[in-house]
Amino acid sequence: MSSTNSSPNTVRHHLQQVRSAFLRLHKALLDSERMLYEQFYGRIPSSGEFFRLVIGHEWFSWLRPMSQFIASVDETLSNKEPVTLERANELLEEARRINYLSEDGTPEQQRYYYAIQRDPNIAILYVEVVELLAANPQQ
């Protein structure tokens, strides 16, 4: 997506791919965290209760930036105006920041790191996101 060959359709398509990959990763992380939460606190009785926990309980707080990122991309893609390269690069930079993990980093980065270590599906989805983000040379 260099500025010389980045049409609005190319930019939009790349953002759609990143959004889809983040959405799959986010769902896998939520499912994994739900399982851990239920091991610690007991079964979550309903989808409504799970939603309430996801938006309000500290256990799931580290996933909220990813939720907010997906919503930001949705908002950008739903605009009638073409996605600008500048806006796309802002979103992709945010994606790189959110997708950063570290065994020795912040508590959020550590939670992400350990989720990848315990679940091979999450690891595969993480790599997919990393590869999509690396495909954009406008860093």
Q: Dihedral of CA 127/105/55/121: which sign?
A: positive
What's the pLDDT tens digit per position in 76-107?
999 988 888 899 999 999 999 999 988 999 99
- Global pTM reads 0.88
Query: Of 106, 59, 87, 130, whose CA–CA distance to 50 is shortest?
Result: 59
Domain chopping of the chain, boundaries = 8-134
Q: Are 54 and 122 in contact (CB under 8 A)?
A: no
Confidence of residue 6 (pLDDT cuts 50, 70, 90): low
